[in-house]
């Protein structure tokens, strides 16, 4: 039964639209631009029209390689390198999200509602604070603009409707605004692209998941 559950879970990720978090980019002599990343959901296929959020750069997958083996497609969970046309290596960067231009392409996030858990840290997070959010392969500067509630760990019920700060051990729903372009997804839809850590002064002070992501104006690739 456990194996069956795993198979069903993997099938669910494969059936979703393509999301690939970019880890590295290389310029390879005689080949061109090669992107390395993990297929988070969906299937990456040779010949597929793709885009990179939030850059809005578009291209086509020319070839795919995994562990020195050429593939026609890569499935969710695979870490692959793939050659793209029309894009120079310096135009891309770690943290971008690659998706299919014809199937729910990824967008640029403007803000998101998140459930965050404060860790055992002397630091507090206050309204208006800015900090680094590490989500998938992206490193994003965000600002906390609203406390929605504090939640009891055991019951899941709201224990405080609003607050000016959260401290060690608190569980809270907050709104974060992105201060630089980045792609973030809803945790329920794309789990690996919707969980994150918050760091202040080189220390991890909180972990969280996205609940509702507000994107910038949708871009059409038709």
For 136-168, what is each residue's pLDDT tens digit? 999 999 999 999 998 887 787 878 777 788 888
Parent domain of 118: 109-215
Q: What mean pLDDT, rounded, does the chain reach? A: 90
Cα 18 from chain centre: 12
Q: Is 206 exposed, middle or buried (0-12, 13-18, 19+ CB in 10 A)?
A: buried
pTM to 2 decimals? 0.88
Number of residues that this document lists for the chain: 222
**pLDDT value of position 7:** 43
Number of H helices, E strands in the chain: 1, 18
Same domain, 211 and 115: yes
Q: What is the mean pLDDT of residues 165-185?
A: 93
**pLDDT value of position 153:** 78
Q: Which residues contact 184 (CB under 8 A, 6 or more apart)?
A: 109, 112, 135, 138, 140, 178, 193, 194, 196, 210, 213
Find out whether the peptide bond into 54 is cis, omega within 30 degrees of 0: yes
Distances (CA, A) of 52 to 20, 36, 56, 123: 9, 13, 6, 35
Same domain, 117 and 83: no
**pLDDT value of position 64:** 98
How many structural domains compose the chain? 2
Same domain, 8 and 78: yes
Q: Is residue 50 part of a domain?
A: yes
Q: Is residue 222 part of a domain?
A: no
């Amino acid at each position: 039964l456990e194996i069956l559950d795993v198979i069903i879970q993997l099938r669910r990720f494969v059936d979703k639209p393509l999301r690939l978090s970019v880890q590295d980019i290389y310029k390879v002599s005689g080949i061109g631009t090669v992107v390395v990343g993990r297929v988070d959901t969906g299937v990456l296929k040779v010949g597929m029209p793709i885009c990179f959020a939030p850059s809005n750069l578009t291209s086509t997958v020319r070839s795919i390689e995994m562990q020195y083996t050429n593939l026609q497609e890569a499935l969710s969970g695979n870490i692959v390198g793939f050659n793209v046309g029309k894009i120079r290596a310096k135009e891309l960067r770690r943290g971008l999200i690659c998706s299919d231009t014809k199937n729910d392409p990824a967008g640029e996030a403007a803000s998101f509602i998140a459930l965050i858990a404060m860790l055992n840290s002397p630091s507090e997070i206050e309204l208006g604070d800015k900090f680094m959010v590490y989500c998938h392969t992206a490193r994003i500067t965000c600002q906390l603009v609203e406390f929605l509630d504090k939640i009891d760990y055991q019951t899941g019920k709201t224990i405080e409707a609003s607050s000016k700060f959260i401290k060690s051990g608190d569980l809270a729903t907050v709104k974060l605004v992105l201060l630089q372009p980045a792609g973030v997804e809803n945790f329920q839809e794309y789990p690996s692209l919707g969980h994150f850590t918050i760091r202040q002064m080189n220390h991890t002070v909180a972990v969280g998941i996205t609940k509702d992501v507000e994107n910038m104006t949708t871009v059409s690739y038709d």
